[in-house]
A and B are shown apart, each in its own frame.
Chain A
Amino acid sequence: MLNIFDVDVVFKDVKSILKFVPISLNISIISGLIGLLIGFLIAIIRIKKIPVLNFLSGVFISFMRGTPIIVQLYITYFGIPIALLYINYYKGTNLQVANIPPIIYALAALALNTGAFCSVIIQSAFEAINPGEIEAAAALGMNGRQRMFRIIIPEALELALPNLGNQFIGVIKGTSLAFTCSVVEMTAQAKIIGARGYRYFEAYVALAIIYWVIIIIVEQLIKIILHFVRVPDVVGNVEDKKLYRKHKKLLKKQGGVL
């Protein structure tokens, strides 16, 4: 039998790449969360127009948007050791480059990159909130922190969530470049097993399938979260779940009009 393309090899490759799913997911979740935090801080700096910091974050965002991720990975990979050498020289410390696990480089680069993009998303979400509601909260006597956590963030979250989800999907795919920092994750593993028998195509097909499935699952998760965060369209006792389900069916039957 002709086996120019061997399906069995694809299945075998899927199995061996699957072992590296946790590494890829860990990198994306950790750098995604750190990125979210960085993005939130930068968004606040930019909205409040804090002098100096506002300018610096402008430069940072511009740089992160203006250079490819792979270049940013290279810069952290080669930049951090050089920075350590300088620190050792001036502070007299003895920090060893070899002690830094390679995953740190990937995390740093991806987190900074995500932070820049998240800040733009979060800033626009904050600016899209009806200022009247914030005024109403102030008029009730709520202080800045209460307004932020009880009114502004819940609303901004709904507005930002679809875009943040998109950004997270971008991060997951971005982890495929972590091999440039000598992290062995899914893509690196596919390269390695492809090289073993020169069955590169099968390895990459297996890799593509795994990425695709992961991202379909993430998309569904985002949809579920959005469903809970959004104000429902149906009119009625939405806290009564039974009634809500009934309305949902009605909505579909009537083509969206209740």
Chain B
Amino acid sequence: MIKIRDIKKSFFTNKVLDGISFDIEAGDVIAIIGPSGTGKSTLLRCINSITKADEGIVEFDDFKFDSQKHTKKDLTALRKRTSMVFQQFNLFSKKTVLKNVMEGLTVVKKISKKEAKEIAIKELEKVHMEDRQVYYPKHLSGGQQQRVAIARAMAMQPELLLFDEPTSALDPELVGEVLDTIRDIAKEGNTMIVVSHEMSFVRNVATKVIFMENGKIVEMGSASQIFDNPQNERTKEFLIKNRVFIQPEYSI
């Protein structure tokens, strides 16, 4: 079980995260939804400390990370346990697809090149990119780049996968392939947190849904609880608006 405890973050006077706490069971797929600018991405970035939280603890079974006092070793340990997939893919542009996936294995985990290559190819096969090993990121479509980024994150065998709006930078046609990939990974039993605006995807895949607004968790529950029977007025409003926007697209 992973415990997130009381994460707080302000940018100058702007309070972005105001004490976020929740638990993650092994195998959970937690979806975070909410309007733009409520700190969903910042929360993910604080969990693996890419953005340093002002306060807060991320606790694994055998490891505790306190954002206020930690050593460089702790930071590396935290990041080895978590992997992140970014909205803008952020593949290493000077490295081929294969080397992108191998990078973390050889440099951070110090695995031999031969072994790393085997792992990388296995992960690339899972996202159906094994035939693009020697391509550079700029030779790939957005959806392909994101799948490689997912393989790169998966190769590290993290305890917790973080998806930061993985489909928001893709055109609608490519969203499907990336969501399918994430769905497959979820089915394998990986623990993950997904920030997403794809409501139907969230509904089908998430085991737990968190609705956030203004840096606070407004409502938390199973997908059916949140989507079919939301308790909070604000959650209801948000879902109604979203369904209104999404419905015409799906009726085509």
Residues of A within 8 A of B (CB): 130, 132-133, 135-143, 146, 150-151, 154-155, 158, 231-232, 235-240
Contact = CB atoms under 8 A, between A and B. Distances in A.
Interface string B86-111: 10111111101000000110011000
A154 B94 contact: yes
B107 A136 contact: no
B135 interface: yes
Contact of B156 (A140, A146, A155): A140
Contact of A136 (B90, B108, B135): B90
Contacts of B134: 236-240
A143 B90 contact: no
A136 B76 contact: no
Interface stretch (B77-85, B120-128, B208-216): B77-85
Interface in B139-176: 139, 149, 152, 156
Nearest to A136: B90
Interface of B: 48, 50, 72, 76, 79-80, 82-84, 86, 88-94, 96, 103-104, 107-108, 134-136, 138-139, 149, 152, 156
A141 to B, nearest CB: 4
A32 to B, nearest CB: 24
Contacts of A140: 79, 83, 103-104, 107-108, 152, 156
A143 B73 CA distance: 10
Given A143-B76, A238-B134, A138 B90 contact: no
Contacts of A139: 48, 50, 79, 82-84
Most chain B CB atoms below 10 A, which of A133, A142, A232, A240: A133
B93 A138 contact: no
A154 B93 CA distance: 10
Given A143-B72, A237-B134, 20 more contacts: A130-B90, A130-B93, A132-B86, A132-B90, A135-B86, A135-B90, A136-B86, A136-B90, A138-B50, A139-B84, A140-B79, A140-B83, A140-B108, A140-B152, A140-B156, A142-B107, A143-B76, A146-B108, A238-B136, A240-B134
A80 B47 CA distance: 56
B93 A155 contact: yes
Contacts of A136: 84, 86, 90-92, 149
B92 A138 contact: no
Closest 3 CB pairs of A and B: A132-B90, A140-B104, A141-B79
Given A139-B50, A143-B72, A143-B76, A235 B135 contact: yes
Contacts of B82: 139
B218 to A, nearest CB: 28
Nearest to A154: B94
Contacts of A238: 96, 134-136
11 contacts: A132-B89, A133-B92, A135-B90, A139-B83, A140-B152, A142-B103, A146-B107, A155-B93, A231-B138, A236-B134, A238-B135
B104 A231 contact: no
Given A139-B50, A141-B104, A232-B136, A155 B94 contact: yes
A129 B143 CA distance: 22
A142 B108 contact: yes
Contacts of B92: 133, 136-137, 151
Contacts of A135: 50, 86, 90
Contacts of B83: 139-140
Contacts of A137: 92, 103
A146 B105 CA distance: 13
Contacts of A235: 135, 139
A237 B50 CA distance: 34
Contacts of A158: 94
